[in-house]
């Protein structure tokens, strides 16, 4: 037996234990070990076999690091065949998260038991894949076609109790001693002469599936696929489970799995999987850096952002004190929170009692003196540097030593804010994205003097509240917003050159962005960008620059909040509609400033929107604002809805080729001017050296 898999006889039960830290992934040694143990157990005295795992979790899937590499024997189907065809009952004993190939291993077992805190799931779709070891054939046989489709196309894990209700788990083991409970369960199955329950023997009656069900499912999934291709193939697999015998269904699943595993979409989504975990690591900080305890949090400002941030902490049972300038503002803040929770309850994603528990964790105050005992303060007031410095000076006076003082600013100078206190080492940026209780990204902004344990604590608490964290140094707009400047600018320049808002946005949405730049402007409020530009002194004096954005604001068209911006919005449904009045205005304004309009290709629209963003990212890397190119991919996928199936802007740039991008930027520079199109030195160098951002990132170590 290898170290990764051990076998022992406990009374009359054979116990196979997998031990392959950190998550018992199905590496070659694990597959081989399980196969050998199951084979050996056929001939020894055991009457049943329990398959369990050491460490924090049951098998959490195939070894993702091995995808795209030559396959090694034994393959997983062979291992599952041995389990399923065992002459003695095999029982999977699940704790932690049985995911992907791990859950498929348990589905090949004759019975599954789990402790109450366990979860099971098939998250392959989040890697641009599908369950390739029988999951698409076995789950519908047990849980039904609809439940299988939901489970596999969402990829979300299911709690043990719900899995039990769905028939996916046969027994919930009380208490924490899973091994003992599983052995007792195995003994009871032997004693009752329980059959070798093989899921493959279940057939699905095609008559139970209404006509057109799968086509309707395909259409629905296609609407939110955003460049992902796995969902459609998952539907085909489940359709095969209904219409084909098991082995034919498994063949079909394997075929489609192999198509996906070699696809650029899956490669991009696997890149994001590892980039997300890499982003949590701060270069130069050992993983043993001490962290401070965060048991109570305060939020300054109960507006949209403050309310959303408060919910993030209450959702993980951390009490929150929300401070506002007066009782009216406080009540408004609490009402926003209750409204948001009600929406979640109405969607069936939270039960009303749990909602009340969370709301009860959020209390209000108008007095800074009440903040003496909190461990972390997050300031979320409107963007005014002097006001923020004033607030931090007050916090410095009332907060206990060791309290972390964070600002949710989107672009202000964290060092200037820190200097307003006597403890700059305890100050940093924690930049949430709107809506803060929904968006997964948290930009952690490291000030010049921010202490290592403050950084480590912020990354850890960020993960605890369900955020994906990425580290940024201080600059105007940090990583995400700084890169967005050129993207938004060019979207408006393209209007002057001949595009309509619909044309620009539909190209970006066709690429996979959740929302095009102009519609995004309408959502965020055109007046926000307008005010930010008014405050800037470094913008070129060019009548073409942000011309439409400025005129629309001055006409009172601030976007969705005023019912119109680049588009007009249905007052009831908020549905976006193109506005002929705006399209006419664009033509007039272009004529006024002597711009000859022309037909513009979709490629040019994509290039003029993304290449400034990629170019600015190269500067951000050169300046050390971001630690590594893959962090930037994480920022854009989790903060700006850049399609995961494209892997983020840096992965996408490497896919397009940095030489192509550099050459195009030079072409645009010659056509539109260096004030907008100045190639970043790093991009130029990598283009000339024929390198990628990924290679550069690896060289930086």
Residue 124 falls in the annotated catalytic set: yes
Nearer to ligand T1G, 22 or 540 (CB): 22
CA dist 366 and 328 (Å) reads: 10
DSSP 199: G
Q: How far is the CB of 123 from ligand T1G (least distance, A)?
A: 4
- C-beta closer to ligand T1G: residue 138 or 226: 138
- In whole angstroms, give the CA distance from residue 692 to residue 701: 15
Nearest-approach distance from CB 138 to ligand T1G, in angstroms: 11
Q: How far is the CB of 463 from ligand T1G (least distance, A)?
A: 7
Who's near 37: CB < 8 A, 6+ residues apart? 1, 5, 7, 14, 16, 49
CB nearer to ligand T1G: give 127 or 518.
127
Is position 104 annotated as part of the catalytic site? yes
Provide the minimum distance between the beta carbon of 96 and ligand T1G in the complex, in angstroms, as a whole number.
7
Longest dimension (CA), the chain: 91
Closer CB to ligand T1G, 63 or 251, in the complex: 63
CB 415 within 8 A of CB 392: no
Distances (CA, A) of 357 to 314, 317, 362, 374, 583: 9, 9, 9, 20, 50
CB of 122 to ligand T1G, least distance (A): 7
| C-beta contacts of 689-698 below 8 A and 24+ residues apart | 690/659, 691/658, 692/654, 692/658, 693/618, 693/621, 693/629, 693/650, 693/651, 693/653, 693/654, 693/658, 694/629, 694/630, 694/650, 694/651, 694/654, 696/621, 696/629, 697/621, 697/628, 697/629, 697/630
Considering the complex, what minimum distance in angstroms separates the CB of residue 563 from ligand T1G? 42
How far apart (Å, rounded) are the C-alpha atoms in residues 482 and 465? Answer: 25
Q: How far is the CB of 280 from ligand T1G (least distance, A)?
A: 7
Q: Integer distance in angstroms from the first to the last C-alpha of the chain?
A: 37
Contact positions vs ligand T1G (CB under 6 A): 22-23, 25, 57, 60-65, 76, 97, 99-101, 104, 123-124, 127, 129, 131-133, 135, 274, 277
Do the strands 171-173 and 297-300 form a parallel or antiparallel pair, or are they unpaired? unpaired
* Per annotation, catalytic residue among 8, 47, 84, 104: 104
Closest CB to ligand T1G among residues 98, 680: 98
How far is residue 15's CA from residue 12's CA, in Å, rounded to a whole number?
10
Angle of helix 681-689 relative to helix 602-622, nearest 10 degrees, comes to 110
Task: Tokens for 153, please give them.
Answer: 């196309």
Task: For ligand T1G, give the closer residue by CB, 66 or 162.
Answer: 66
- String of DSSP letters for 329-375: HHHHHHHHHHHHHHHHHHTTSS-HHHHHHHHHTEEEES-GGGGTT-S
Residue (316 or 387) nearer to ligand T1G, CB:
316
| Residue of 32, 84, 124, 324 with catalytic role | 124
> Which CB atom, from 14 or from 123, has the smaller least distance to ligand T1G?
123
Q: From the CB of 137, what's the least distance to ligand T1G, in Å?
A: 12
Beta strands in 427-571 (DSSP E): 427-432, 441-446, 468-473, 567-569
Q: Which residues contact 596 (CB under 8 A, 6 or more apart)?
A: 590
Q: What is the DSSP letter of 597?
A: P
Beta bridge partners of 202: none
CB of 260 to ligand T1G, least distance (A): 9
Is 122 or 502 the residue whose CB approaches ligand T1G more closely?
122
Instruction: Please say whether the beta carbons of 633 and 651 come within 8 A.
Output: yes
Supply the residues annotated as catalytic: 104, 124
């Amino acid at each position: 037996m290898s170290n990764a898999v051990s076998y022992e006889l406990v009374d009359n039960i054979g116990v196979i234990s997998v031990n392959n830290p950190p998550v018992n992934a199905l590496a070659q040694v694990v597959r081989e070990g399980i196969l050998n143990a199951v084979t050996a157990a056929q001939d020894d005295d055991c009457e049943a076999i329990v398959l369990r795992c050491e460490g924090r979790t049951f098998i959490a899937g195939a070894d993702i690091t091995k995808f795209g590499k030559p396959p090694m024997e034994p393959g997983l189907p062979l291992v599952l065949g041995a389990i399923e065809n065992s002459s003695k009952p095999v029982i999977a004993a699940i704790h932690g998260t049985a995911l992907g190939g791990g859950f498929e291993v348990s589905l090949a077992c004759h019975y599954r038991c789990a402790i109450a805190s366990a979860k099971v799931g098939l998250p392959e779709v989040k890697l641009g894949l599908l369950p390739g070891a029988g999951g698409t054939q076995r789950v519908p046989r047990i849980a039904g076609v609809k439940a299988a489709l939901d489970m596999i196309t969402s990829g979300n894990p299911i709690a043990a109790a719900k899995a039990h209700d769905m028939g996916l788990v046969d027994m919930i083991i009380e208490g924490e001693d899973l091994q003992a409970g599983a052995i007792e369960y195995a003994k009871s199955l032997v004693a009752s002469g329980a059959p070798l329950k093989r899921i493959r023997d279940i057939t699905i009656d095609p008559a139970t599936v209404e006509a057109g069900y799968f086509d309707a499912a395909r259409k629905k999934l296609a609407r939110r696929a955003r460049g992902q291709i796995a969902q459609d193939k998952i539907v085909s697999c489940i359709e095969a489970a209904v219409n084909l015998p098991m082995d034919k269904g498994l063949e079909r699943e394997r075929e489609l799995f192999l198509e996906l595993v070699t696809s650029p979409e899956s490669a991009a989504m696997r890149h994001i999987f590892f980039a997300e975990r890499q982003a949590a690591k701060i270069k130069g900080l050992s993983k043993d850096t001490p962290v401070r305890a965060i048991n109570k949090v305060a939020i300054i400002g109960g507006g949209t952002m403050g309310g959303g941030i408060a919910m993030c902490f209450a959702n993980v049972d951390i009490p929150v004190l929300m401070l506002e300038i007066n009782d009216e503002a406080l009540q408004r803040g609490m009402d926003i929170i209750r409204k948001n929770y009600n929406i979640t309850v109405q969607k069936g994603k939270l039960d009303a009692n749990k909602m009340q528990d969370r709301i009860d964790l959020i209390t209000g105050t108008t007095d800074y003196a009440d903040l003496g005992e909190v461990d972390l303060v997050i300031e979320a007031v409107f963007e005014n540097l002097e006001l923020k410095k004033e607030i931090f000076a007050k916090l410095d006076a009332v907060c206990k030593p060791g309290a972390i003082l964070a600002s949710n600013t989107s672009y202000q100078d964290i060092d200037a804010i820190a200097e307003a206190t006597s403890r700059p080492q305890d100050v940093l940026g924690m930049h949430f994205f709107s809506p803060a209780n929904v968006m997964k990204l948290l930009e952690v902004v490291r000030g010049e003097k921010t202490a290592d344990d403050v950084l480590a604590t912020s990354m850890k608490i960020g993960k605890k509240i369900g955020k994906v964290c990425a580290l940024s140094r201080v600059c105007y707009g940090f990583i995400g917003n700084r890169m967005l400047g050129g993207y938004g600018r060019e979207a408006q320049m393209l209007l002057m050159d001949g595009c309509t808002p619909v044309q620009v946005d539909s190209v970006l949405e066709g690429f996979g962005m959740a929302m095009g730049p102009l519609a995004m402007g309408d959502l965020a409020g055109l007046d926000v960008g307008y005010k930010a530009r008014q405050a800037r002194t470094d913008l070129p004096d060019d009548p073409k620059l942000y011309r439409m954005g400025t005129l629309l604001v001055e006409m009172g068209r601030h976007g969705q909040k005023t019912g119109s911006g680049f588009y007009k919005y249905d007052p009831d449904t908020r549905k976006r509609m193109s506005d002929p009045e705006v399209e006419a205005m664009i033509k007039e304004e272009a004529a006024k400033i002597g711009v000859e309009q022309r037909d513009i290709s979709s490629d040019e629209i994509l290039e003029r929107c993304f290449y400034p963003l990629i170019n600015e990212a190269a500067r951000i890397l050169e300046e050390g604002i971001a630690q590594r190119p893959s962090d930037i991919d994480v920022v854009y996928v989790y903060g700006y809805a850049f399609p995961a199936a494209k892997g983020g802007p840096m992965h996408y740039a490497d896919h397009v080729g940095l030489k192509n991008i550099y050459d195009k930027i030079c072409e645009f520079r010659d056509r539109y001017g260096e004030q907008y199109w100045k190639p970043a030195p790093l991009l130029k160098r990598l283009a000339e050296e024929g390198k990628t951002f990924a290679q550069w990132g690896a060289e930086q170590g």
